[in-house]
Structure 1
Amino acid sequence: MQIRKASAGEMLSLWEYDDLSKASNTAKYFYQNIESGNAVFWTMEHDGKLIGELYVFRDIPFDRDFADGKTTAYLCAFRIEKEYRGRGLGTRLMETVLADLKAAGFRRVTIGVGPEEELNVRLYHRMGFTEKIKDCHADPCAMDADMNPAPDDCFWPGTCKHSTLPSHLYSEGGKENDEF
């Protein structure tokens, strides 16, 4: 297994866009933030195949509860391919990313998760994400036509037809001198 930081171009390719001008506003937002260094695209590969990904945003100017650019960072789009789950790979990827953030001086990390995502909630609790910050009804990284955060169909349960529950924003660490 190889864990590494990947490029904005690789992200665009993974999202199946061959040209930035044809990409969705959300893909453009991720791309621009990776290119500028505000976001990091982490990948996990096995035999050259992408089996996991996790994005880190250092700053979310729309809502500093998520990431403030100095002490708090936001994790999103955390995925491990189904056939590789249950092997501790998600934990390895998360540990690598958290160690990198700690080395960069971040003391607090946030992640959004829906209450119905029981496996993710358990993993996040094991990783130290225990403090619920707030309920959320919009994804801070899903962009509308004006490049502002917008509800993303079924990404946050509060926007789905099958659920009226909001997602929750959890944090890890957060106290002065606390180590996550």
Structure 2
Amino acid sequence: MIAPNMEIHRDAEKLGELAPLYAALLAHHVNLPNVPQAQPSELSWSLRRAEYETWLKDSNGFVVVARRDGIAVGYAVVSIAAGPDDMWVTGNHIAEVQTLAVRAADRGAGIGTTLLDAIDSELGCQGVRDIQIAVVATNEDAIRLYQRRGFTPRLVVLSNYAR
């Protein structure tokens, strides 16, 4: 399989084309065991897109888009917060992968790894060494991917959402 081309964007111009990938990620998440009820797809995308726009504008964040034959097959959005962390020893900036999504048909083909490689490269250029990512607790494939990259569990988020 041909490796995807990677693009890095620092503005919201390309966000619209990511909506189908986000919808696929949301559908994947709602099919995992022990997850709360999700927002309707269009509302969820609208809320998430607004967050992306804020992170891109206010945090030196960026979007990495993986393309095959000109079509987006995966993406990641990264925000960068000022550090150091108030509790943990970190550098002066802390990156967070806010979303990493890969088209359902392309999962397991190394696109997530390639997106993470591009993130690491971009953060290295910016001198950012600390990075975190949240993952749905029952998303075992994603957890394995991140652990292979050296991520370790640090916090557990508990929720009690009213339905």
Question: TM-score if structure 1 supplies the norm length?
Answer: 0.62
1:14 counterpart residue number: 18
- Distance, in Å, in 1 between the alignment partners of 2:161 and 2:77 is 23
Tell me whether 1:5 sits opposite 2:8 in the alignment. yes
What's the secondary structure of 2:155's corresponding residue? strand
| SS of structure 1 residue aligned to 2:134 | strand
Among residues 45, 51, 69, which one is paired with 2:67 in the alignment?
A: 45
Report deviation, 1:109.
Answer: 0.5
1:117-136 → structure 2 map (5 Å cutoff): 117-130=139-152, 132-136=153-157
Cα displacement string for residues 102-122 of structure 1 (whole angstroms, at most 9, x for unaligned residues): 221112100001220000000
Query: 1:160 deviation in Å?
Result: 6.3
**Distance change in 2, residues 1:31/1:94 (3 Å):** same
Describe the SS at the equivalent of 2:81: coil
Q: CA deviation at 1:8?
A: 0.4
What is the CA–CA distance in structure 1 between the aligned matches of 2:108 and 2:15, rounded to whole Å? 25
Unaligned runs of 5+ in 2: 21-44
Letter in 2 for 1:10: K
CA contact (8 A) 1:58 1:70 kept: no
**2:157 aligned partner, one-letter code:** C
CA offsets 1:30-57 (integer angstroms, 9 cap, x no match):
1132134522111101111110010110
Between the aligned partners of 1:12 and 1:35, the Cα distance in structure 2 is 16
Give the whole-Å Cα distance in 2 for the aligned partners of 1:107 and 1:128: 13
Q: Which residue of 2 aligns with 1:56?
A: 78
Q: Closer, same or farther in 2 for the Cα pair 1:69/1:87, shift >3 Å?
A: same
Q: 2:97 aligns with which of 56, 61, 75?
A: 75
Take 2:160 and 2:124, find their aligned partners in 1: how far apart are those partners? Answer: 33
Residue of structure 2 equivalent to 1:114: 136
Larger helix fraction of residues: 2
Conserved 8 A contact 2:96-2:133: yes
Q: Higher RCO, 1 or 2 (CA under 8 Å, sep at least 6)?
A: 2
Change in 2 beyond 3 A, CA 1:28/1:95: same
- SS across alignment from 2:55: helix
Structure 1 alignment gaps of length 5 or more? 17-22, 138-157, 162-180
- How far the C-alpha of 1:136 sits from its partner, in A, is 2.3
Deviation at 1:134, TM superposition (A): 1.3
Q: Is the 8 A contact 2:82 2:93 kept in 1?
A: no
Q: How many residues align?
A: 132
SS of the counterpart of 1:102? helix
Letter in structure 2 aligned against 1:118? E
Offset, 1:27: 2.2
